[in-house]
Copies of this chain bind each other. A is one copy, B any other.
Amino acid sequence: MVEARDRFRSHLARRGLRYTAQRRLVTDATLRREGHYDADDLYEGLRAAGSEVSRATVYRTLGLLRDSGLIKEVLQCRGRASYEAVYGLEHHDHMLCVECGKVIEFRDDRIEELQRRICRRHGFRALEHRMGIRGICKQCAAAQKESGD
């Protein structure tokens, strides 16, 4: 966590930006989170904890955190961008059940490797990649079958 924080600080420093109290609050909040969250989750969480940060600052800081590679944007679900930690974690992808909204994470090294190979072939420098499979999860499929669809 301290390491991640330092990484963000130097990202900011490198472009003449400041590591302010508000940015620290937002950063720490993202580092504490597990799984997915969106800007509003963070804002409400910070508010509830008595931290004074504006919505605008949360949005602005999330952008900076994304640029720094500490977090990344995942599934664009119901019009909201949601984020998750990147730093120090293995990459994984997502399956999203369109019925119940459940997110299943998975990881496949062979897919990762194939992606790298494709980028190399096109001279493309990947910053981030995401794979999302939208569909119906096991449980919802079973429920549908029962009610005769």
Contact = CB atoms under 8 A, between A and B. Distances in A.
A130 to B, nearest CB: 6
A135 interface: yes
Given A76-B76, A111-B111, A114-B111, A104 B122 contact: yes
Interface of A: 76, 95, 97-98, 104, 106, 108, 110-111, 114-115, 118-119, 122-138, 141
Which of A110, A127, A133, A135 has most chain B Cβ within 10 Å? A133
Contacts of A123: 137-138, 141
Contacts of A119: 95, 133, 135
Contacts of A141: 123, 125
A133 B115 contact: yes
A94 to B, nearest CB: 10
